[in-house]
């Protein structure tokens, strides 16, 4: 097997491509900001985890021992990222008249279902924020004297006590800070609460005793503390959606500097390790196609968003959405449309059909045997393989890597390798892309929309009768059966080149 190409990844902190060099030789430690579980995740959120999954798979493929942590935020995230408003979970629980624990459990499970449906590999640990509160209090105590001050609202981090605050956001301008709501007594507009004291006379469902009174941790503190506790500071890569580049991650970085004992005298963020992670990586947004009076980023708080389950209910296999994500570079904005999703499904179907053909040729041999260890290959397949690796190593260019997979399939006849090696080649490439090509079948991809009353068995039985009628040249009956299916929303696709005999419209 050829040695994987060295990885070049885009670091948001320097806004440049940088070679990946691990903090601990042979290892890759990655932290991904998880969802705030006050509502269902939307498909935009899931783009962030597809991206993190591709990154993790690539690191594993390149031979690094991966430790990936994704957190679950069940406390601390306010309705405004910039430290204003109410706790999102407290608010959701009050609105539903349920406990926060119920709410958090329900939406965490919904998130995990989406993770599984998109073939995203689970991390080494799902760290639950509310389980780390003692460590958060200890961390706040550690940095309080040098970096924090108290206000009636709680303990605030003084962003003036660390060097290069806000560099990640490139936000050291009045414009950037103007977005942050003023709290009386703050030393700098960007200062933020790391402990939020419960106001007198109120009780929160989630609150803990601390040296600064009963209250709850700040959202930014959670991620600094969980990443430090589970990966150690500094670690290799921190990921999240591009919105986190503005407030959440600059604040994590400031806390990480403080937790590692770096103040002005130690220099700033020109030293990669000082920020707590060597690389900060961000996926761009999934945006809804602009419509009259509505456009832009999909967001949970706007209340109107697309869930993966809605795609499934409409008859799109969830892996079509993964394909849609992989077709774009993670740093580009991606526009969602139903036509685009349909095209991604067709593309996935072609790949699955090619793999099915190879599997048939191998006469049912156990496909589990096709692991990622490839035997030495003839030059032609090695060349394709090399191009694939180069694409992925170039800041995870999955769009290009996908076209290489398709070229390989189109040229199998000329490559000069047998079916089992062809399958191994595809399995290896898919270990990075995660489209589950060796396990998915054509039948899996054809989902019945939820609104359809007719069952697959009825459709297949009617189609079989129609075939008999046509064989007996009883075209009146054949047409009647077709009309019967059409009336129930089933489009019969005679002679479809992809072998898709029918679809529900």
Would you say 35 or 315 has its CB closer to Zn ion? 35
Selected binder of Zn ion within 7, 9, 30, 33 (CB under 5 A): 33
Selected binder of ligand AMP within 262, 285, 370, 385 (CB under 6 A): 285
Residue 183: burial class (beta carbons within 10 Å; 0-12, 13-18, 19+): middle
Stretch in the footprint of Zn ion (CB under 5 A) among 27-35, 41-49, 435-443, 480-488: 27-35
Selected binder of Zn ion within 193, 223, 311, 447 (CB under 5 A): 223
Tell me how far, at minimum, the Cβ of 306 lies from ligand AMP, in Å.
Answer: 10
Q: What is the C-alpha separation between 437 and 408, in angstroms, rounded?
A: 14
Would you say 104 or 415 has its CB closer to ligand AMP? 104
- Residue 24 binding target from Zn ion, ligand AMP, none, CB below 5 to 8 Å by type: none
Would you say 33 or 393 has its CB closer to Zn ion? 33
Q: How many residues bind Zn ion (CB under 5 A)?
A: 2
Stretch in the footprint of Zn ion (CB under 5 A) among 33-41, 179-187, 295-303, 388-396: 33-41
Q: For the segment 426-485, give every residue that binds ligand AMP (CB under 6 A).
A: none
The radius of gyration of the chain from alpha carbons, rounded to an integer in Å, stands at 26
Contact 499, 353 (CB under 8 A): yes
- Measured torsion, CA atoms of residues 370, 316, 332, 250, in degrees rounded to the nearest 10: -90
Residue 85, by phi and psi: left (phi above 0), alpha (psi -120 to 50) or beta? Answer: left
Would you say 55 or 223 has its CB closer to Zn ion? 223
Stretch in the footprint of ligand AMP (CB under 6 A) among 99-107, 118-126, 228-236, 283-291: 283-291
- Residue 297 binding target from Zn ion, ligand AMP, none, CB below 5 to 8 Å by type: ligand AMP
Spell out a b/e string for 432-467, using b for 16 or more CB atoms within 10 Å of the CB, else e.
bbbbbbbebeeeebbbbeeebebeeeebeebbeebe
Contacts of 221 (CB under 8 A, 6+ apart): 76, 136, 139, 140, 194, 195, 255
Tell me how far, at minimum, the Cβ of 39 lies from ligand AMP, in Å.
Answer: 8
Tell me how far, at minimum, the Cβ of 125 lies from Zn ion, in Å.
Answer: 15
Would you say 248 or 278 has its CB closer to Zn ion? 248
Contact 103, 92 (CB under 8 A): yes
Would you say 40 or 262 has its CB closer to ligand AMP? 40
Helix (H, G, I), strand (E, B) or coil at 395: coil
Tokens at 280, concatenated? 């900060």
Tell me how far, at minimum, the Cβ of 286 lies from ligand AMP, in Å.
Answer: 4
- Residue 231 binding target from Zn ion, ligand AMP, none, CB below 5 to 8 Å by type: none
Nearest to 237 by CA among 112, 397, 51: 51
- What count of residues does the chain have? 505
Helix (H, G, I), strand (E, B) or coil at 209: coil
CA 70 to chain CA centroid, Å, is: 10
Q: What is the C-alpha separation between 45 and 444, in angstroms, rounded?
A: 25
Selected binder of ligand AMP within 297, 307, 448, 503 (CB under 6 A): 297
Tokens at 187, concatenated? 């030393």
Stretch in the footprint of ligand AMP (CB under 6 A) among 198-206, 281-289, 399-407, 433-441: 281-289
Contact 417, 349 (CB under 8 A): no
Contact 147, 158 (CB under 8 A): yes
Selected binder of ligand AMP within 80, 141, 150, 243 (CB under 6 A): 243
- Residue 223 binding target from Zn ion, ligand AMP, none, CB below 5 to 8 Å by type: Zn ion
Would you say 164 or 222 has its CB closer to ligand AMP? 222
Would you say 156 or 285 has its CB closer to ligand AMP? 285
Over the window 24 to 63, marking each residue x when it contacts ligand AMP by CB under 6 A and - when it does not, the resulting string is: ---------x-xx-------xx-xx---------------
Tokens at 425, concatenated? 């080649």
Contacts of 339 (CB under 8 A, 6+ apart): none
Cβ atoms < 10 Å from Cβ of 155:
26
Contact 153, 193 (CB under 8 A): yes
Stretch in the footprint of ligand AMP (CB under 6 A) among 166-174, 294-302, 335-343, 382-390: 294-302
Tell me how far, at minimum, the Cβ of 32 lies from ligand AMP, in Å.
Answer: 7
Would you say 269 or 328 has its CB closer to ligand AMP? 328
Stretch in the footprint of Zn ion (CB under 5 A) among 222-230, 255-263, 329-337, 469-477: 222-230
**Interacting residues with Zn ion (CB under 5 A):** 33, 223
**Interacting residues with ligand AMP (CB under 6 A):** 33, 35-36, 44-45, 47-48, 240-241, 243-244, 283, 285-286, 297-300
């Amino acid at each position: 097997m050829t040695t994987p190409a060295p990885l070049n990844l885009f670091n948001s902190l320097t806004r440049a491509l940088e070679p990946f060099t691990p903090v601990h030789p042979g290892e890759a430690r990655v932290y991904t900001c998880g969802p705030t579980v006050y509502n269902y995740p939307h498909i935009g959120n899931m783009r962030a985890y597809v991206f993190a999954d591709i990154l993790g798979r690539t690191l594993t493929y390149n031979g690094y021992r991966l430790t990936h942590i994704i957190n679950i935020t069940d406390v601390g995230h306010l309705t405004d990222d910039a430290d204003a408003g109410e706790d999102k979970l407290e608010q959701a629980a009050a609105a539903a008249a349920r406990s926060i624990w119920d709410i958090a459990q329900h939406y965490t499970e919904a998130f995990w279902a989406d993770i599984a449906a998109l073939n995203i590999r689970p991390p080494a640990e799902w760290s639950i924020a509310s389980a780390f509160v003692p460590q958060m209090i200890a961390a706040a105590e550690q940095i309080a004297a040098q970096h924090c001050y108290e206000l009636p609202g709680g303990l605030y981090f003084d962003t003036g006590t660390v060097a290069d605050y806000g560099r990640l956001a490139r936000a050291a301008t009045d414009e950037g800070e103007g977005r942050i709501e003023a709290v009386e007594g703050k030393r700098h507009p960007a200062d933020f609460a790391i402990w939020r004291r419960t106001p007198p006379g109120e009780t929160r469902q989630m609150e803990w005793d601390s040296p600064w009174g009963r209250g709850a941790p700040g959202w930014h503190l959670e991620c600094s503390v969980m990443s430090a506790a589970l990966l150690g500071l500094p670690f290799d890569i921190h990921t999240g959606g591009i919105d986190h580049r503005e407030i959440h991650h600059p604040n994590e970085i400031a806390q990480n500097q403080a937790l590692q004992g770096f103040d002005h005298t130690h220099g700033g963020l020109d030293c990669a390790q000082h920020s707590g992670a060597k690389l900060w990586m961000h996926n761009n947004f999934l945006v809804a196609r602009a419509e009259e009076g509505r456009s832009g980023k999909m967001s949970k708080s706007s209340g109107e968003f697309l869930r993966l389950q809605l795609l499934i209910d409409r008859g799109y296999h969830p892996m079509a959405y993964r394909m849609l994500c992989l077709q774009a570079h993670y740093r580009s904005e991606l526009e969602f449309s139903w036509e685009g999703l349909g095209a991604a499904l067709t593309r996935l179907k072609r790949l699955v059909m090619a793999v099915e053909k190879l599997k048939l040729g191998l006469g049912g041999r156990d496909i589990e045997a096709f692991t990622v260890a490839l035997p030495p290959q003839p030059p032609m397949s090695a060349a394709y393989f090399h191009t694939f690796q180069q694409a992925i190593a170039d800041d995870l260019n999955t769009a290009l890597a996908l076209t290489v997979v398709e070229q390989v399939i189109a040229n199998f006849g000329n490559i000069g390798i047998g079916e089992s090696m062809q399958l191994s080649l595809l399995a290896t490439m898919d270990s990075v892309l995660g489209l589950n090509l060796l396990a998915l079948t054509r039948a899996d991809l054809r989902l019945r929309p939820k609104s359809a009353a007719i069952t697959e068995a009825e459709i297949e039985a009617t189609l079989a009768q129609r075939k008999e009628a046509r064989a007996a040249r009883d075209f009146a009956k054949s047409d009647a059966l077709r009309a019967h299916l059409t009336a129930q929303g089933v489009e019969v696709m005679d002679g479809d080149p992809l072998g898709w005999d029918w679809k529900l419209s």
